[in-house]
Amino acid sequence: MPKFKAVLFDKDGVLIDSLETCMDAFNDTLVHFQKPTLSREGFIREVWGVRAETVINSIFFDKNEHEREEIRRFYNNSRAMRVNKTQLFSSTVPTLQVLKASGVKTAVVTNTLKRTALKLLNDFGILQYFDEVIGGDEAEAKPSPAPVLLACERLGVRPEEALYVGDTPTDAKAGKAAGCITAIITTSHNAVDLAEIGDILIIDDLSELLNIVQ
């Protein structure tokens, strides 16, 4: 019997290798709207794992809502133009296939808007592996535990019966606050830095989940 009844996944940085895509699109947006660009370390620290709308609102605090909406649209379009640079991690499909066959329930919990998340998951051919997709417009954004708890509710499992998998300190906060065992993969932060968070599992490859779940 599996040790967990459900596995909940963040999307970007866990299932989909999109950090470079998002960083390039974000810096493209900053240049277009005459703001200083971010280094890779700065992007990971300030932007990665946070809802894009939240970051844009913070950086462009001096703009009105109509102007910020234009900036968000530019960013989304810039990211879409780079979709060919985005790809699945090599372990994503094999891991999802094994989990599906084992009867473990699965969900995606992302700060990305649901319609966008559904399209991306479908475009990459992995939407069928998930029982639920929780988008950033359905609950308070992570690091709030709200979307993780909503996923558990929809899957019909208790938080302590679910493993939450992310790649950022934001994910760690959300998973732990929800009461889930939380695993963080080292795709955007190194193991040494992640170890400082405490009370999380640290993995280097998604396939390691199979030893944890089963």
Question: What is the rounded CA–CA span in Å between residue 22 and residue 120?
Answer: 13
DSSP class per residue in 85-99: G-EE-TTHHHHHHHH
Which run of H or E residues covers position 213? helix 209-213
Q: Is 12 a catalytic residue?
A: no
pLDDT computed for residue 2 by the predictor: 63
The catalytically annotated residue of 10, 12, 167, 171 is 10
**pLDDT tens digits, 133-174:** 999 999 999 999 999 999 999 999 999 999 999 999 999 999
Q: pTM of this prediction?
A: 0.92
Give dist(CA 38, CA 214) in Å, integer. Answer: 41
Distance CA 174, CA 147 (A): 8
Angle between helices 146-155 and 169-178 (to 10 degrees): 50
Q: Tens digit of pLDDT per residue, the chain (214 long)?
A: 568 999 999 999 999 999 999 999 999 999 999 999 999 999 999 999 888 888 999 999 999 999 999 999 999 899 889 888 899 999 999 999 999 999 999 999 999 889 989 999 999 999 999 999 999 999 999 999 999 999 999 999 999 999 999 999 999 999 999 999 999 999 999 999 999 999 999 999 999 999 999 7
**What is residue 115's three-state secondary structure?**
helix
The answer for residues whose C-beta is within 8 angstroms of residue 63's C-beta and 6 or more apart is: 71
Distances in Å between the alpha carbon of 138 and those of 54, 141, 208?
A: 15, 9, 30
